[in-house]
Amino acid sequence: MVATGKGASQGVLIKGGNALENAHKMQVQTVMFDKTGTLTIGKPIVVNTMLFSNVSIQEFCDVAAAAEVNSEHPIAKAVVEYAKKLRQKYGSAMEHVTEPKDFEVHPGAGVSGNVGGKLVLVGNKRLMQACNVPLSPDVEDYMSETEQKARTCVLVAIDGRIAGAFAITDPVKPEAERVVSYLRSMRISSIMVTGDNWATATAIAKELGISKVFAETDPLGKADKIKELQMKGVTVAMVGDGINDSPALVAADVGMAIGAGTDVAIEAADIVLIKSNLEDIITAIDLSRKTLSRIR
C-alpha cells in the first residue's frame, strides 16, 4: 500500500483494493477524457440567447431557470445564474426561481419539468427529438452557428415548441493541452468522450490536440466505447467528473474521478484526483509504473 500513502500526499488518492495488485492495470495505453468539467473548467457561462417565440427574454430565462434549478449539471448552474443576473438588472415578474413540478433529469440530454402548468424541456437536440419537439430551420441554423464557435447550444421548449436557446461557453482547463501532449510523449493516446454535440466537441478537441472524439454519447455509450477498446486489447483509463461518467469509470481498467466532481463519480472511481488538476493523471501513472518496477 506504499503507493496509496505516497499518492495521497501528491494529490492522488488510490481507493481501497490493493494498489500493487492493480498496478498492471495502470500500464495505460489510452486515456479517455470526459469533456464538461473534466477537460473544461466546468463553470460554463451563458454568452448569448436567442428567442424563437413571443416570450420576453426575462420570462424565457425565468422559465428555463425554474426547470434547471434542481439540476446539479454545470449547464444548469449557468442558466440559473444568468436568469438571476437578468432579474437583478431588469427586475422580473418572478421574485425567486420557482421550483418545477415533476422534475426529471435526462442524463446526457437535459431536464424536464412543469413550470407554472407548462411543460418545459431544457437540453440538447437529442432531448427535443426524444420528446417530439420539431426544430425549425431557424433553430437548426442557430445551433450550427453556435456549435462551430465551440459553444454548446442549449434549447428550451415550452409546451412542445422551441421557445429559445442559450449559447454556453466553458473554457478549457489551463493544464489540459499540456497533459495531452505529455501523455503523447509517454506514448499514451488521448480520446474525448462527451454527451455534447459533434461540432462543439470537435472544436474543443482540436484546441487541445486530441484527434479522436466520441460525441453525442449517453452514459452507457461512454462505457461501451471503453469496452470496445478493451476488446481490442487496449488498457484504458477513464477520467470523469459527472454522474454520467460513472458507468465508464467502472468499465475502465482505471477510473479516475475529478476531486471536485460529483459523489457518484468519486464512488465509481479507483483513483481520485484530489486537487482536480489533470496533471495528477500523470502522477498516478508514474506512481504505478514505479510500483510495478519495484515488484519486478
Please give the residue ranges that form the binding site for ligand ADP (CB under 6 A).
34-37, 68, 71, 73, 75-76, 108-111, 122-124, 152, 154, 194-196, 242, 244
**Residue numbers at the binding site for Mg ion (CB under 5 A):** 34, 36-37, 241-242
Contact in structure between 74 and 36 (CB atoms under 8 Å): yes
Measured distance CA(232)–CA(17) in Å, rounded? 26
Nearer to ligand ADP, 18 or 141 (CB): 141
CB of 73 to ligand ADP, least distance (A): 4
The partner in contact with residue 109, picked from ligand ADP, Mg ion, none with C-beta cut-offs of 5 to 8 angstroms by kind, is ligand ADP
Measured distance CA(218)–CA(228) in Å, rounded? 15
The partner in contact with residue 123, picked from ligand ADP, Mg ion, none with C-beta cut-offs of 5 to 8 angstroms by kind, is ligand ADP
From 34, 62, 253, 270, active-site residue: 34
Measured distance CA(215)–CA(192) in Å, rounded? 8
Active-site residue flag, 34? yes
Q: Which residue is nearest to ligand ADP (CB)?
A: 195
Q: Where are the beta strands (DSSP E) in 88-208?
A: 101-106, 110-115, 118-123, 152-158, 161-169, 189-193
CB of 166 to Mg ion, least distance (A): 18
Measured distance CA(283)–CA(236) in Å, rounded? 16
Nearer to Mg ion, 121 or 248 (CB): 248
The partner in contact with residue 28, picked from Mg ion, ligand ADP, none with C-beta cut-offs of 5 to 8 angstroms by kind, is none
For residue 176, which of 190, 196, 197 has the smallest C-alpha distance? 190
Strand order in the sheet with 161-169: 45-51, 161-169, 152-158, 118-123, 110-115, 101-106
Q: CB under 8 Å to 183, separation ≥6 — which residues?
A: 31, 189, 190, 281, 282
CB of 199 to Mg ion, least distance (A): 18
Nearer to ligand ADP, 14 or 147 (CB): 147
Give the sign of the dihedral formed by CA 150, CA 222, CA 66, CA 165: positive
Nearer to ligand ADP, 207 or 286 (CB): 207
Contact in structure between 167 and 46 (CB atoms under 8 Å): yes
The partner in contact with residue 152, picked from Mg ion, ligand ADP, none with C-beta cut-offs of 5 to 8 angstroms by kind, is ligand ADP
CB of 123 to ligand ADP, least distance (A): 4
Nearer to Mg ion, 7 or 37 (CB): 37
CB of 145 to ligand ADP, least distance (A): 16
Measured distance CA(97)–CA(65) in Å, rounded? 7
Residues catalogued as catalytic: 34
